[in-house]
Amino acid sequence: MVVANPPPSPLLIFDGDCSFCRYWADAWKDRTGDAVEYAAAQHVAGQFPEIPTESLRQSVQLVVPDGHVYGGAEAVFRTLAFASRGRWRHRFALWSYQSLAGVRPATEASYHFIASHRGLFYWVTRILWGKRYERQSYALARWVFLRLLGCVYFVSFLSLATQITGLIGQRGLLPASRVLEILHQQVGPARYWYFPTLAWLSSSDGFLKFLAGGGAAISLLVIAGTLTGPALALLWLFYLSLVTIGGDFMSFQWDVLLLEAGFLAIFLAGTEIVSPPWRRSRSRRAAEILKSPDRRSGTAEARDAQSALASSIGNRQLAGSVSCSPSPVPSALLWLLRWLLFRLMLSSGLAKLLSGDPTWRDLTALDYHYFTQPLPTPLAWYAEQLPQWFQKFSCAAMFAIELGIPFLIFTPRRLRHWGAALTILLQVLIALTGNYTFFNLLTIALCVTLLDDALLRRFLPRQLVHSLVSEAAESAQTGGRPARRPPAAQILTATLAVFLIVGGVVHIPGMGGLQRWLPRQALEIVDGTDPLHLVNGYGLFAVMTTSRLEIIVQGSNDGQKWRDYEFKFKPGDPRRRPPWVEPFQPRLDWQMWFAALGSYSNNRWFVNLMARLLEGSPDVLSLLAKNPFPHGPPRYVRAVTYEYHFTNFAERRATGDWWRREPTGTYFPMASLRR
């Protein structure tokens, strides 16, 4: 079909009385920008009498400048071929429609089926995407994620700053200087790659404090939105340096999770220099000029501002009332952060199932979890008292979230929002019943990448929303489309994506068999970058501990009367209430939990702990809550074990104890320093 008076640019005609048609016309307009015009058939049908009225009711019609008219699925494919985002995908789809056998009849049949049931599919559209089309921009999501990440860095570095010398200082439990000396002797020049750390410059206590304290200070720049990209690069380097030399005390999964998320955040931050919460956008300042022009300067400034503002806004209008404010967030990096969240959650569930642990298989793991976890909270005591049917239900719900919800990450926006909400709910519940340092906050920060600006603007301050969304709009080129990234940046992002996808797949529990299908060179690259912790495996508590042994460290001057060393947060005195300590991480208290699962011979740092207590090391004693020998170190030390269990309501009413315990034996025999 050919019309006599074609439009100067492609024109897509749709049924303006159809809500389903209006929704998708807005969606396509967002993709094609000014390259295609859109109009309701009720407004322009008279201009094209050659197009039958029935055709306008049944399907969209694309009229191109040479007069040809295309309808149905072909009109959609040809329209989207003008899209500036994902152009190669849409052009490939059009080529497939035109060239591949079977594609044309299949897509046309699908189109006409949907067109015949618009009411049903509009209902589905509303469920999956919303009542009105909302462009999925992520300027607010990026801003919130980076600030939350800055908070995580701040608490992690600040926590380390208060413990660093006692843990890995010169007179600490695992002196970094001694570790680096051994590596220098045994590894040679390759040590700089396999053990990357700034501590090669200096391993003094002062420099370790600089890394931890400096990291806390730099993280404030990220929170304030100042020099965000460079600050994140320094934070990653500082934290990697501490993880490399931290040994057992820096070997937790959330440490490498922070490194992996922090590395991606460097690129996500882009070229942002200053973006504090209080900043006003240029559009807001111009609008204020329009409202209150300076009387002393006449109206010239107001007219200039009005002209510039009108020009900026005028080029960013969609069909209807949909705004085309572009997102400055590189979609590939956003998806890589989502890929990290997907692996984290799915791996957590798979690790439990594939471990073969019977308590996970029969859903009884929570019968033990609350009292056997490293550092329970007061609410864990109450959760322990809940009936078994509720514990089994909670365990099944956890598996549903860890194994099923991650796949919602790859679904339309509303399902992604539900996936984020359920994941955040799980993290909040975990945080309420256990002190898991900054892990829950970091996971919640990753969930923010699933939320778009249309949702977040409902919960954030209006001034902040206006500032960020306006700045994103002002960064657009004419026509409302995002500026194209330099080819070098696109190549770097693509390379990084391939690396993280390949490395991530092989680290998912149960996916090891895929390695034989992957190129050997790719696997060698993944393995070779292990020291940088760019991609990691996850899976907390794959095997549930069913009893709790606590190590009680004691000292004595005569070998007869023994006094307990009280730790700050781990269980000791049965009458002491479980603490709230998250997001701070007492790393010695955590390692004491792991040490109880084995023997002191497998934990070199524990032997050093006993030696430092005999020496009266101030740095190590600062890690403890109570020194029972304030006037000088004891002559002897030892460690005994008790089996701990939460009391019940009756026992607590009778004794006031949160714990009941029974002695089980000796963990570390009596020892003293050689005189």
Q: Which has more confidence, 131 or 104?
A: 104
With a cut of 90, say whether residue 629 has pLDDT above it. yes
Q: What is the pLDDT of residue 311?
A: 40
Q: Are 554 and 642 in contact (CB under 8 A)?
A: no
Poorest-confidence range of 33-37, 232-236, 519-523?
519-523
Cis peptide before 583 (omega within 30 of 0): yes
Q: What is the pLDDT of residue 2?
A: 87
With a cut of 80, say whether residue 371 has pLDDT above it. yes
Section 246-250 average pLDDT: 94
Question: Which letter, b or e, does each residue of 385-409 get, where b requires 16 or more Cβ atoms within 10 Å of its Cβ?
Answer: eeeeeebbebbeebbebbbebbebb
With a cut of 90, say whether residue 547 has pLDDT above it. yes
With a cut of 50, say whether residue 540 has pLDDT above it. yes
Q: What is the pLDDT of residue 88?
A: 84
> For the chain, how many residues are written?
675
The identity of residue 227, as a single letter, is: L
Q: Are 180 and 170 in contact (CB under 8 A)?
A: no
Section 415-429 average pLDDT: 96
Q: What is the pLDDT of residue 135?
A: 80
Q: What is the pLDDT of residue 485?
A: 67
With a cut of 60, say whether residue 317 has pLDDT above it. no
Q: Are 143 and 470 in contact (CB under 8 A)?
A: no
With a cut of 70, say whether residue 52 has pLDDT above it. yes
* Res. 291 pLDDT band, cuts 50 70 90: very low
Q: Are 661 and 595 in contact (CB under 8 A)?
A: no
With a cut of 90, say whether residue 18 has pLDDT above it. yes
Three-class DSSP labels, 312-334: HHHCCECCCCCECCCCCCCHHHH
Q: Are 103 and 80 in contact (CB under 8 A)?
A: no
Q: What is the pLDDT of residue 94?
A: 93
Pairing of strands 563-564, 659-671: unpaired
| Residue 405 φ/ψ, nearest 5 degrees | -60, -35
Q: What is the pLDDT of residue 397?
A: 96
Longest dimension (CA), the chain: 109
Residue 360 tokens, joined? 């996970």
Q: The pTM is what? A: 0.87
Q: What is the pLDDT of residue 496?
A: 87
Q: Are 366 and 391 in contact (CB under 8 A)?
A: yes
* Res. 328 pLDDT band, cuts 50 70 90: low
Match 């050093």 to its residue by tokens. 608
Q: Which has more confidence, 417 or 513?
A: 417
Q: How many CB atoms lie within 10 A of CB 149?
A: 28
Q: What is the pLDDT of residue 287?
A: 45
Torsion of CA 137, 143, 146, 152, to 10 degrees: -120
Q: Are 615 and 170 in contact (CB under 8 A)?
A: no
With a cut of 70, say whether residue 301 has pLDDT above it. no
Q: What is the pLDDT of residue 87?
A: 78
Residue 363 tokens, joined? 């859903």
Strands of 54-201 (E only): list them: 61-63, 69-71
Q: What is the pLDDT of residue 394?
A: 96
- What interhelical angle do 228-246 and 176-186 show, nearest 10? 80
Three-class DSSP labels, 414-436: HHHHHHHHHHHHHHHHHHHHECC
Torsion of CA 109, 111, 117, 119, to 10 degrees: 170
Q: How far apart are CA 268 and CA 145, in angstroms?
A: 10
Q: Which has more confidence, 505 or 370?
A: 370
